[in-house]
Amino acid sequence: MAAATETIPTGEKKRTKPHREDLKPGENLCAFCTAKCCRYFALPIDTPTDWADFDYLRWYLLHDRATVFVEDECWYLLVHTRCKHLRDDHLCGIYETRPKICREYTTDKCEYEDDWVYDQYFEAAEQVEQYAEAVLGPRKGQSIRSPKPDPLKVLHLG
């Protein structure tokens, strides 16, 4: 099936994808997707409960292409990296011999829609530090906030 199209103000046709619920029997979401699921992997991680745990999260986020998210109260490390077998046409280059995790993956809850959101999403170590301070309170003797500046000295002119 060809993807739906719409006319944009320039008169050109823009490719749009059908809504999940509009697929006909036998059609697969993957035929209309850019293979979002092949452009990252996410691993469950322990829910942070103390400053040491949050320091690990901060360490993850100090690395390129890593984020952390929470979904349904589960925490995940997400690494934004493309599968080396993803072809330019968004299809799998090793489909017949793909790993078991790929074979078992379903589109039931995939991020086909563009409005996918997580319960919480952290992209920077500073975000984790702020969240930890909000949840745990300030570290003893430390804060992420800048120290209070010394009061200005009164200048004596004379």
Domain match, 41 and 4 both: no
Cα 40 to chain centroid, rounded: 9
Please tell me the pTM assigned to this model. Answer: 0.74
Domain match, 50 and 118 both: yes
The answer to the question of residue 157 being in a domain is no
* Pairwise CA distance, residues 36 & 87, whole Å: 13
* Pairwise CA distance, residues 113 & 119, whole Å: 16
Region 2-21 average pLDDT: 65
Q: What's the pLDDT at 1?
A: 42
Domain match, 75 and 10 both: no
Write out pLDDT tens, residues 76-97: 999 999 999 999 999 999 999 9
Give the residue numbers spanning the domain of 125.
Answer: 35-136
Q: What's the pLDDT at 2?
A: 45
Helices vs strands, H then E, count in the chain = 3, 6
- Percent of the chain past pLDDT 70, that is, above it, reads 82
The answer to the question of residue 148 being in a domain is no
| Token digits of residue 99 | 């790993």
Structural domain count, the chain: 2
**DSSP state, 86?**
B
Domain match, 47 and 114 both: yes
Domain match, 17 and 50 both: no
The answer to the question of residue 155 being in a domain is no
